[in-house]
Amino acid sequence: MPKIVDKEKKRHEIVEASVQVFKCRGYQGTRIIDIAKEAGIGKGTVYEYFNSKDEIILSVFDELFLDYEQLLYTRANSDRPPIEELLSSVASAFEDLDNCSELIPVYFELWSSRQLCESLGLQSRMGQWFERLSAAYTKLIEKGQRSQEISREIEARAFARTLVSAIDGIILHYCLFKPDKVFFAKQKQELERTLRRSLLP
């Protein structure tokens, strides 16, 4: 019998392999054949799942955002206090930053090329990503407001977008400057304290 292939798993494996190649070679320096070799498959197999290198790099970032978005919606539907879920979600955004930081040069490579940005539709796509993350945080905040655990004076959507922007800035700062781990832990504690004070009625 022919082997049954889990297509979603194979697609994910190709994306994971591409991450390793992009980290080493950058976006412009990466070829489909490089990704195929890293994944241990033929070049033709890559094209069975992706039409181009552009589609692969977008899938890399899609997976990063989608995983976090799903986490937020899971927590928005939990029975734990909304403030605790929100703070826990923020903390989750700062996990595994050392691995994430290796992709930052690729991120800047894409943004620094107007042609690449336009061909990938990167600005529009990232705007959609951030809007979806903001919507997930908005849902958490509004849940807390309904249960009177979060201040009703907060404009939920504006607060959520501000929070997403702050998280993005902190992640970028960490990846670029690699602060001392002890000091970074203190930064996260201060962020949690500030958020908790801001959210409480």
- Residues making up the chain, counted from first to last: 201
pTM for the structure as a whole: 0.84
Cα separation of 26 and 20, whole Å? 10
Cα separation of 22 and 20, whole Å? 6
Going from the N-terminus, what domains does the chain have, and what CATH number goes with each?
1-51 (1.10.10.60), 53-199 (1.10.357)
pLDDT by residue, tens only, the chain of 201 residues: 445 567 888 999 999 999 999 999 999 999 999 999 999 999 999 999 999 999 999 999 888 777 777 877 777 777 889 999 999 999 988 988 887 788 888 988 998 888 988 999 988 988 998 998 899 899 999 999 999 999 999 999 999 999 999 999 999 999 889 889 999 999 999 999 999 999 999
Report CA Rg, the chain: 19
